[in-house]
Amino acid sequence: MRRLAVVLALAACVTSAVTFAAGVAWAQDGGEGLQTTLTHEGEPVPGVTITVYTEGGALVGAAATDEDGHWTLPVPGSGTYRVELDESTLPEGLSVVGGNVREPFVRPGSVGGLLFGLTTGEAPAQPAPAPPGGEAPPDGEAPPGEEVAPEEEIPEDPEQEIEVVAGPNPWDRVLSHVYSGIHFGLIIALAALGLSLVFGTMGLINFSHGELVTFGAFAVLVLNVTGLPLLGPDFTVHLLIAIPIALVLAVAFGYLQDRYFWGWLRRRGTGVIAMMIISIGVALLLRHLYLYQFGPSRIPYSQYVVQAPQRIGPLHVPMKTLITDAIALVVLVGVASALVLTRFGKAIRAVADNPALAAASGINVDRIIRLVWAVGTGLAALAGIFLAMHESATYLMGFQMLLLIFAGVVVGGVGTAFGAIVGSLIVGVLIQVSTLWVPSELKYVVALAVLIVVLLVRPQGLLGRRARIG
């Protein structure tokens, strides 16, 4: 009896510890926000309304300062926000120093502090002080005559957020890293499948594949957040409607790209190496078109940005992660089995094996490559959409992922569909699990090291056939 009581007490302890730890971890994990405290001559100023907008002008939320002058508001994610203090709600005779608008930048996982200085009488017209707790948005402008080397325009990439949180048990920690690795691996796999198929059928290492990933993310962004310019800027649709439309657009984009560009190059007899460098040009062009149109900041979608995590066993996972993973898995298995089972799949594999022989046996090689481009772009776009759902869309997201996609493709075996899937999952899990031992900013280095080692030891990859590689 006493033993049972001890066990029960212990169990209660552990459970509460788990809950507590998980709660703390979640607060640290998903909690971007803004905060400030309004005081005047040491006295708190309550009841002042402060409103937060996204950079694009969409309303995030509004709140009033409490009895102690404190004000906090959660924001949907990292990014630059526009914060307006409603001066009409200030007590009589008070005004804000340096204007009532601040534009802070909120870092991932942190709460940005704002500074509103209050003064009696007319506020002096001085420029707004730099908001503390945040960084001034990077201005890409240099005075004329100042040299701006083109290679200096790459901003540092923010850390990937891990959305899965585990309990205090060390094995749970490993498990959570494995799961977030699988989650990331599935996204890489979606993109890698297209790259691998394109390489298999036309021998092109497509350096612009990352920009196809970004295409999907931005297509949804246009439909969901920024609005269609043709139908008026306010015409936006729900994310669940935007995604299918974006996928159709991506498939069409891939099809047309091959129909009018890559297919044309093939007919002109452009060499594979030349096409590879052309793809670098395409990547440069598309990437900066995105930058031109959407600017350098991270933009979240309108729906499903912040979700309370669900508890599954020892893991705490947001619902959207589970659903996107399930969709990714179904799509990957679907495409892979279509490659094995359908006539088109057989034709794709035949072209990958030997284009001349496939053409001789009556397969329209050009049409098959076009199909591969359409499907591959659709898959890449899906990867971009899922990635942007979890960490917002930026013009660099695909480019930053490109080497990981390469890693997935090479580890699994270039030109094989199953290889790309398996390789990507390995790379994804490796990246996330490696953060248990190596600093997280070096996790991509682990993936790149694996890529190089596989190229050296087994260039055909895990599932590839031995072909001429050197």
Partner 1 sequence: MNLDLVLTQTLSQALGPGVVVFALAAIGLNVQFGYTGLLNFGQAAFAGVGAYGMAMTISTVMPRCVASTNWPCSGLSGVSPQVTFWLSVVVGLVGALLLALLLGVSTLRLRADYLAIATVAAAEALRRVVRSVELRDWTGGTEGVRGFAETFRDYGYAIGEAFLPPLRPGENLRIGPLFFTATSLWVMIVGWFLVALCLLLVWLAMRSPWGRVLRAIREDEDAVRSLGKSAFSYKIQSLVLGGMIGALAGFIQALRLGNVNPDQYHTTFTFYIYAVLILGGAARVFGPVVGAMLFWGLYNFLNQLLRQVAALDVLPEGLLTTTKVDPLVFVLLGAGIIALLIFRPQGIFGDRREISLDVR
For binding to partner 1 (CB under 8 A), which residues are involved?
A: 139-141, 144-145, 147-154, 156, 205, 265, 268-274, 276-278, 280-289, 291-292, 295, 403, 406-407, 410, 439, 441-442, 444-445, 448-449, 451-452, 455-456, 459, 468-470
Nearest-approach distance from CB 272 to partner 1, in angstroms: 7
Distance, in Å, from the CA atom of 49 to the CA atom of 89, rounded to the nearest integer, reads 6
Nearest-approach distance from CB 199 to partner 1, in angstroms: 9
Nearest-approach distance from CB 459 to partner 1, in angstroms: 6
Instruction: Please provide the DSSP assignment of 132-189 as one string.
Output: TTS-PPPP----TTS---GGGG-PPPPPPPP--EE-SSHHHHHHHHHHHHHHHHHHHH
> Quick one: 282 or 335, whose CB is closer to partner 1?
282
* Rg over CA atoms, the chain: 26
Nearest-approach distance from CB 299 to partner 1, in angstroms: 16
| 36 DSSP β-pair partners | 71
Nearest-approach distance from CB 226 to partner 1, in angstroms: 12
Distance, in Å, from the CA atom of 404 to the CA atom of 388, rounded to the nearest integer, reads 16
> Quick one: 122 or 139, whose CB is closer to partner 1?
139
Nearest-approach distance from CB 201 to partner 1, in angstroms: 15
Token pair 């298999």 in the structure block, residue: 200
> Quick one: 127 or 145, whose CB is closer to partner 1?
145
Token pair 């091959």 in the structure block, residue: 258
Nearest-approach distance from CB 95 to partner 1, in angstroms: 31
> Quick one: 122 or 156, whose CB is closer to partner 1?
156
Nearest-approach distance from CB 141 to partner 1, in angstroms: 6
Instruction: Please provide the DSSP assignment of 67-130 as one string.
Output: TTSEEEEE-SSSEEEEEEE-GGGSPTTEEETT-SEE--EEPTT-EEE----EEESSPP--PPPP
Query: What are the backbone dihedrals phi and psi of residue 208, each rounded to the nearest 5 degrees, phi first?
Result: -95, 10
Q: Which residues contact 191 (CB under 8 A, 6 or more apart)?
A: 209, 210, 212, 213, 379, 380, 383, 384, 398, 401, 405, 424
Distance, in Å, from the CA atom of 50 to the CA atom of 61, rounded to the nearest integer, reads 9
> Quick one: 155 or 334, whose CB is closer to partner 1?
155
> Quick one: 309 or 461, whose CB is closer to partner 1?
461
Token pair 């640290």 in the structure block, residue: 28
Instruction: Please provide the DSSP assignment of 217-275 as one string.
Output: HHHHHIIIII--STT-TT----HHHHHHHHHHHHHHHHHHHIIIIIHHHHHHT--HHHH
> Quick one: 301 or 444, whose CB is closer to partner 1?
444
> Quick one: 11 or 285, whose CB is closer to partner 1?
285
Token pair 């060499």 in the structure block, residue: 271
> Quick one: 166 or 397, whose CB is closer to partner 1?
397
Nearest-approach distance from CB 385 to partner 1, in angstroms: 23
Length of the chain: 470
